[in-house]
Structure 1
C-alpha cells in the first residue's frame, strides 16, 4: 500500500497493482494462405458489387422513370462510401484497395443518384 497526499492535504491510500499491465492487444497473424484467400474474396466481391449497380442504372435509363427509387437511400450510400474511404485514409491505409473500392462504390452511387434526379426532374422525358 502506498500513501499519497491529495490536493486537500489529507492522506489517501492507493493500492498499486500486484502485477504489471498486460501489453496492448495486437492483431494475430493469420496464415499466409488464409490472408490470400480473404484478399481473393475481397477482390471478387468488390468487382461483383460494382457490377451490381448496373441493372438499377440501366432500368432507370431504359424506363426513363425513377419514381421507384429513393434519393435518400442513394445519398446515404454515397455518404457512407465516401466517409469510409476518408476514414481508411485517415487511419494510415491511404493506398489500400479498400479505399479505391469505397471510392468506386461512391462513384456508382453518385451516378445512380444523378440518374434518379435527372429523370425525376423531367430532363429525360
Structure 2
C-alpha cells in the first residue's frame, strides 16, 4: 500500500484526503481589524507580531530573537536614518554610505520576509498569489 504525500510539504495524507479547492479572497481590505489584538500589535509594535509569526513558523527561533532582529534592522534603521538626517555635521559622501547600508539592510529584511511567507504558504497549503 502506498501512502499519498502532499507535494508541497511532504506530509503523509490519509487515504480519504481530498485536496481543498482554491477559493477566492473572502475578506475586504480592512478584514485585519476583526482580530483587534493582532491589528493593534501590528500597528504599534510590529516587531512583536513578526516574532510571533517566525516562532510559529520555525520552533528553533524564539519570538524574542526574531523581535530583536526586527527591531535592529527596521526600527533601528529608521531611527538611525532620522538622526543622521537631522545632524548637519556629517559629510554628504559619508551620509550616502550610511543610507546605502540602510537600504541594503531593509532589502535583506524584505528577502527574509518573502522566504518566511513562502514557508507559511507551504506549511498551511495556502494559495500562492
Q: Shorter-chain TM-score: which interval?
A: 0.3 to 0.5
Structure whose alpha-carbon radius of gyration is higher: 1
TM normalised by structure 1 equals 0.36
- Ranked by relative contact order (alpha carbons within 8 Å, sequence separation 6 or more), the top structure is 1
